[in-house]
Amino acid sequence: MAKRSSLSIRIVEGKNLPAKDITGSSDPYCIVKVDNEPIIRTATVWKTLCPFWGEEYQVHLPPTFHAVAFYVMDEDALSRDDVIGKVCLTRDTLAAHPKGFSGWAHLTEVDPDEEVQGEIHLRLEVVPGPRARRLRCSVLEARDLAPKDRNGASDPFVRVRYNGRTQETSIVKKSCYPRWNETFEFELEEGATEALCVEAWDWDLVSRNDFLGKVIFNVQRLWATQQEEGWFRLQPDQSKSRRGEGSLGSLQLEVRLRDETVLPSGCYQPLVRLLCCEVKLGTQGPGQLIPLIEETTSTECRQDVATNLLKLFLGQGLAKDFLDLLFQLELGRTSEANTLFRSNSLASKSMESFLKVAGMRYLHGVLGPIIDRVFEEKKYVELDPSKVEVKDVGCSGLHRPQTEAEVLEQSAQTLRTHLGALLSALSRSVRSCPAVVRATFRQLFRRVRERFPSAQHENVPFIAVTSFLCLRFFSPAIMAPKLFHLRERHADARTSRTLLLLAKAVQNVGNMDTPASRAKEAWMEPLQPTVRQGVAQLKDFITKLVDIEEKEELDLQRALSLQAPPVKEGPLFIHRTKGKGHLMSSFKKLHFSLTTEALSFAKTPSSKKSALVKLANIRAAEKVEEKSFGSSHVMQVIYEDDAGTPQTVYLQCKCVNELNQWLSALRKVSISNPGLLGSYHPGVFRGDKWSCCHQKDKSDLGCDKTRSRVTLQEWNDPLDHDLEAQLIYRHLLGVEAALREKHRELSAGTGAGSVRTGPGAAPEDPLAQLLQVLQDLQEAHSSSPAGSRPSGLSRPLALQT
């Protein structure tokens, strides 16, 4: 049994931001921090005060986190980026509103005295004294303090204040993980109400000291307990007045915290078996549970339910059967061929999730090179005469205005080239398409052809396939490549227009060049020859794609299972050691690949790989503090070699997103390893001591806690069967009343009995079984240590408008 927390984050847009550049504009981006730890950086939107990001993230983290903060920054090429403002949401606030925040939030000013982080280890005692009892405060150590100096560290000391007296510890130079082990005593007066204040400060020689945080203790409580020891979270100084709300602009967010207590696998088996049985029976099943789930699922949560069901059945090897059942249900209620799969039904949402989970690597292989070429060329492309911008062309001294006709012709030629390359890549990709995706499209093609067999509907089966492959998968990826991990940054305005026009052309091909699609935008006519040719190519591709039999499907799946597909791969810089483990400042660029077996490297992506770390030997994957290598994007992988000796390899990434993606991947594949570390050194052992805490024992356990449970959700994450079953249970519990009402209606119509109330008779119909399973799971949750009825029925909390 485990309690798991996750944050669903959507950073939508900003408005009315202040201008930070001399041009009267800004180049805004967002940094998301959980307890002051940067985990996400959005793309920069250039030269705007009203940026749109539309980026979504899912973050898994320990239930003990305190707050998530969104910092809006202005990127500067030549100086340090400017802070515009922030929005901070505490864990308690999010937990009180299970459907989350949705709306606009005013940015608040970032005060350095409020930007504190870390914890301090204290021991407080009430001890006898010569005249009266005394309060003894032992300042032991601190960890993860905010780096306030340019060298990426601080020079911390602690100031202890009580009853008008102040005492200070010594200063620890260049450390965010200081150890003091110093003790102070104060005389206690019976009935005194003054609080004990412990403040951490960064010492500066020439400027004023920087505030690092404080902890305040109730002395009356100490009288009662006599002793208290532990790690205490440093709190900000909130005594200053804030800048007026709204003067820094606003940020539109959607943030939801989800806490789940996941029971042992056996508890979910009745629910999983019941749903799998319904899918195996298909539309001939007696209970029709899947249609009932769709009927009782609201539009706002249909995507989540579809994704959870899809992942559950994917883990059971029944994804194709589940989708086939949804296809049949949708075809059964569709009378007009031109409306097929056009709504946001459970079938459409489930198929979208299926393609992202099972087909994302395939999409990258087909679209990646074309998208890269569009970004690299940065050509001006426009087909709409009302939007054409006439430019100067020619060589030096011979400039002449480019005519509108020339712009249109060059644009059409560029788009024809990109569209032709994309269709050619697609035509060649039949064998590289995952077998389960091909088999699912085969079922879809056959079901639609059976439902619309006439000659006038000859293209309908092809359009059914392209409605998902082109309209709901390829086209969105072309228009927003960053959201599909095809690019690290959003496209600029010129590239975005090229991608939009290319996506429109792909949609026209996917619609089989129908008169309706041509009539919408007549200025797309110059692409018609390529579109018509593309329709023929696409139909030939789909014919080959769905031509897969059961034996070939099994053979392809078996061949794929024998390979160890990379969980994560890409270029990294490895820091080398010299002599007896002494670190050098130099590093070497290599291509790394992480599989479910090992972390390997090679000189190039196509070179022979050498295993660096066996997966089973990983003990921790953590960040390295900035001062160690002069970069904030370095991680360390702590592992044991074949002789059982602890080793550490330092790897440098190019940005904070890449760093967190690699850390997430390493943590997820090693989460079940025995001997995972609970603490580590965020610095390096250089010379005769650790750079972080200055301890001279190289085998010291560590001065900071590991963060193995902080991960980013990715499309290729391993399936978590128990979590998906828990999420489905939680949804069904939310619609339990509607299911019971449906059961009463069905029972009244058939004369069947109600759900069993005792251990005797077993229910006969699947809906009664489902209601009983929900009741059993609810009892299991109630009897668990963290047991409580999962919430999720509250109204969403709207942020300030």
Q: What are the residue ranges spanned by the domains of the chain?
A: 2-107+249-257, 119-233, 263-333+720-748+767-778, 351-392+402-561, 566-712
What pLDDT score does 746 carry? 79
Q: 683: pLDDT confidence band, cut at 50, 70 and 90?
A: very high
Q: Which of 190-199, 209-218, 603-612 has the highest mean pLDDT?
A: 209-218
- Which residues are CB-contacts of 331 (< 8 A; sequence separation ≥ 6)? 340, 447, 448, 451
Q: Name the residue type at position 612.
A: L
- CATH assignment of 566-712, given 3.30.930.10, 2.30.29.30, 2.170.270.10, 1.10.287.3510? 2.30.29.30
CATH T-level assignment (fold) for domain 2-107+249-257: Immunoglobulin-like (2.60.40)
Q: For strands 618-623 and 704-705, give the pairing.
A: unpaired
Three-state SS annotation for 748-798: HHHCCCCCCCCCCCCCCCHHHHHHHHHHHHHHHHHHCCCCCCCCCCCCCEE
The string over 193-222, giving b where at least 16 C-beta atoms fall within 10 Å of a residue's C-beta and e elsewhere, is: eeebebbbbbbeeeeeebbbbbbebebeeb
Enter the pTM of the model: 0.83
Lowest-confidence region among 281-285, 436-440, 493-497, 737-741: 281-285
Of the listed ranges 284-293, 581-590, 767-776, the one predicted with least confidence? 581-590
The mean per-residue pLDDT over the stretch 62-74 comes to 92
Q: Which is it for the CA torsion 680, 686, 687, 693, positive or negative?
A: negative
Per-residue pLDDT band for 15 (boundaries 50, 70, 90) equals very high
What per-residue confidence (pLDDT) applies to 344? Answer: 84
Q: What pLDDT is recorded for position 553?
A: 61
Average pLDDT, the chain: 86
Say if CB 94 and CB 101 are below 8 A apart: yes
CA distances from 223 to 130, 191, 214, 404, 764 (A): 18, 9, 21, 85, 64
Q: Are strands 610-614 and 598-602 parallel, antiparallel or unpaired?
A: antiparallel
Q: What is the pLDDT of residue 581?
A: 46
Report how far residue 67's alpha carbon sits from residue 589's, in angstroms, rounded to the nearest whole number: 36
Taking residues 531-549, what's their average pLDDT? 91
- DSSP 3-state assignment of 500? helix
- Across 579-687, where does the E strand assignment appear? 582-594, 598-602, 610-614, 618-623, 634-640, 646-652, 679-680, 685-686
Cβ distance 118 to 146 under 8 Å?
yes
Within 10 Å of residue 501's Cβ, how many Cβ atoms? 24
Give every CB contact of residue 640 below 8 A, 6+ residues apart in sequence.
617, 619, 646, 647, 675
Token pair recorded at residue 143: 């960890």
Percent of the chain with pLDDT over 90: 48
Strand partners, 141: 121, 179
Q: Is the pLDDT of residue 1 over 50?
A: yes
State the pLDDT confidence band at 554, using cuts at 50, 70 and 90.
low
Q: Would you say 243 and 108 are in contact if contact means Cβ atoms under 8 Å apart?
A: yes
Alpha helices by DSSP H, 209-301: 219-225, 265-281, 289-296
What DSSP state is assigned to residue 72? E
The domain 119-233 is placed in CATH, from the list 2.60.40.150, 2.60.40.1220, 3.40.50.2300, 3.40.50.720, at 2.60.40.150
- Which band of pLDDT confidence, cut at 50, 70 and 90, is reported for residue 98? confident
pLDDT of residue 396: 46
Reply yes or no on whether the pLDDT at 561 is more than 80.
no
Q: What is the mean pLDDT of residues 104-131?
A: 88
Where residue 526 falls (left for φ over 0; alpha for ψ -120 to 50; beta otherwise) is: alpha
pLDDT tens per residue across span 305-334: 999 999 999 888 899 999 999 999 899 888
C-beta atoms surrounding 786 within 10 Å: 12
Of 85-89, 286-290, 464-468, minimum mean pLDDT range: 286-290
- Going 752 to 756 to 759 to 763, the CA torsion angle's sign is positive
- The pLDDT assigned to 517 comes to 63
Question: Would 2-107+249-257 and 119-233 be classified into the same CATH topology?
Answer: yes
The torsion region of residue 399 among left (phi > 0), alpha (psi -120 to 50) and beta comes to beta
What are the C-alpha distances in Å from 649 to residues 3, 151, 577?
32, 23, 9
SS3 content of the chain, % helix, strand, coil (to 5): 40, 25, 35
What backbone torsions phi and psi does residue 118 show, to the nearest 5 degrees?
95, 180
Mean pLDDT for 30-40 is 92
pLDDT category, 580, cuts 50, 70, 90? very low
Cα gap 250→464, rounded to integer Å: 42
The sheet with strand 52-61 has its strands ordered as: 711-712, 52-61, 2-15, 250-262, 101-106, 797-798
For residue 665, the model assigns a pLDDT of 92
- 3-state SS class at 433: coil
Alpha helices in 546-655, H assignment, sequence order: 550-562, 626-629
d(CA 612, CA 593): 10
Query: Average pLDDT, stretch 250-271?
Result: 92
Res. 801 pLDDT band, cuts 50 70 90: very low
Dihedral of the alpha carbons of 22, 27, 30, 36, in degrees to the nearest 10: -40
The SS3 of residue 394 is coil
Q: Which of 124-133, 515-524, 529-538 has the highest mean predicted lDDT (pLDDT)?
A: 529-538
Q: State the pLDDT at residue 300.
A: 84
Q: Exposed e or buried b for every residue in 432-455, given b needs 16+ CB within 10 A?
A: ebbbbbbbbbbbbbebbbebbeee
Helix (H, G, I), strand (E, B) or coil at 618: strand
pLDDT of 470-481, one tens digit each? 999 999 999 999
Please name the residues in contact with 604: beta carbons below 8 A apart, sequence gap of 6 or more. 591
**AA letter at 778:** Q
Identify the pLDDT of residue 575.
84
Query: Does domain 351-392+402-561 match CATH 1.10.506.10?
Result: yes
Q: Could you give the CA distance from residue 502 to residue 491 in angstroms, rounded to a whole number?
A: 14
Report the DSSP beta bridge partners of residue 652: 573, 634
CB atoms within 10 A of CB 345: 18
E-assigned strand segments in 226-353: 227-233, 250-262
Find the mean pLDDT for residues 23-43: 92
Give ∠ CA 48-49-51 in degrees, rounded to 5. Answer: 70
pLDDT digits (tens, 9 = 90+) for 702-740: 999 999 889 998 877 777 888 899 999 999 999 999 989
Q: Is residue 650 a contact partner of residue 582, using CB atoms and an 8 Å limit?
A: no
pLDDT band, very low/low/confident/very high, at 249 (cuts 50, 70, 90): very high
591 touches 604 (CB < 8 A):
yes
Burial category of 28 from C-beta neighbours within 10 Å (exposed 0-12, middle 13-18, buried 19 and up): buried
Structure tokens at 195: 């609080």
